[in-house]
Amino acid sequence: MTTIPTTAQASTAAPTPASRRRTFAIISHPDAGKTTLTEKLLLFGGAIQLAGEVKAKQGRRQTSSDWMAIERSRGISVVTSVMTFEYGDCVFNLLDTPGHEDFSEDTYRTLTAVDSAVMVIDAAKGIEARTRKLFEVCRLRDIPTVTFINKMDREARDPFDLLDEIEKTLAIDTTPMTWPIGSGRDFAGTYDIARSQVRRLDRDDEPTKVNGPEAGLFDELLPKGAGEWRDQVELAIGGCKPFDLTSYREGHLTPVFWGSALRNFGVRDLIDALIAFAPPPRAQVAEGRTVTADEKNMSGFVFKIQANMDPNHRDRIAFLRVCSGKLTRGMKARLVRTGKPMPLNAPQFFFAKDRQLAEEAYAGDIVGIPNHGTLRIGDTLTEGEDIVFKGVPSFAPEQLRRVKLKDAMKAKKLREALQQMGEEGVVQLFVPNDGSPAIVGVVGALQLDVLKERLASEYSLPVDFDPCQFQVCRWITSADEQKLDSFIADHGSSMARDLDGAPVYMASSAFSLRYEEERAPGIVFSDIKDYQ
Binding site for ligand G4P (CB under 6 A): 28, 30-36, 55, 57, 99, 150-151, 153-154, 260-262
At residue 404, the 3 state secondary structure works out as strand
The nearest distance, CB 47 to ligand G4P, in angstroms, is: 17
The nearest distance, CB 65 to ligand G4P, in angstroms, is: 12
- Determine if residue 28 is labeled as part of a ligand binding site: yes
- Determine if residue 332 is labeled as part of a ligand binding site: no
Contact criterion met (CB below 8 Å) for 425 and 305:
yes
Specify the residue, 38 or 478, whose C-beta has the smaller distance to ligand G4P: 38
Specify the residue, 57 or 412, whose C-beta has the smaller distance to ligand G4P: 57
Question: Which residues have CB under 8 Å from 265's CB, separation 6+?
Answer: 152, 153, 189, 190, 199, 201, 259
Cα–Cα distance measured from residue 74 to residue 522, given in angstroms and rounded to the nearest whole number: 46
Specify the residue, 55 or 415, whose C-beta has the smaller distance to ligand G4P: 55
Specify the residue, 222 or 262, whose C-beta has the smaller distance to ligand G4P: 262
The nearest distance, CB 83 to ligand G4P, in angstroms, is: 14
> % helix / strand / coil in the chain, to the nearest 5?
25, 30, 40
Specify the residue, 76 or 307, whose C-beta has the smaller distance to ligand G4P: 76
Q: Is 368 left (phi over 0), alpha (psi -120 to 50) or beta?
A: beta
The nearest distance, CB 270 to ligand G4P, in angstroms, is: 12
In Å, how far are 284, 378, 453, 532 from 388, measured between CA atoms?
10, 9, 33, 7
Cα–Cα distance measured from residue 83 to residue 63, given in angstroms and rounded to the nearest whole number: 11
CA 400 from centre of chain: 25
- Determine if residue 30 is labeled as part of a ligand binding site: yes
- Determine if residue 259 is labeled as part of a ligand binding site: no
The nearest distance, CB 37 to ligand G4P, in angstroms, is: 7
At residue 162, the 3 state secondary structure works out as helix
- Determine if residue 83 is labeled as part of a ligand binding site: no
- Determine if residue 178 is labeled as part of a ligand binding site: no
The nearest distance, CB 426 to ligand G4P, in angstroms, is: 23
Q: β-pairing, 90-95 with 21-28?
A: parallel
- Determine if residue 529 is labeled as part of a ligand binding site: no
Specify the residue, 81 or 284, whose C-beta has the smaller distance to ligand G4P: 81
Cα–Cα distance measured from residue 321 to residue 307, given in angstroms and rounded to the nearest whole number: 18
- Determine if residue 29 is labeled as part of a ligand binding site: yes
Q: Which residues does the annotation place in the binding site?
A: 28-35, 96-100, 150-153
Q: Which residues does the annotation place in the binding site for GTP?
A: 28-35, 96-100, 150-153
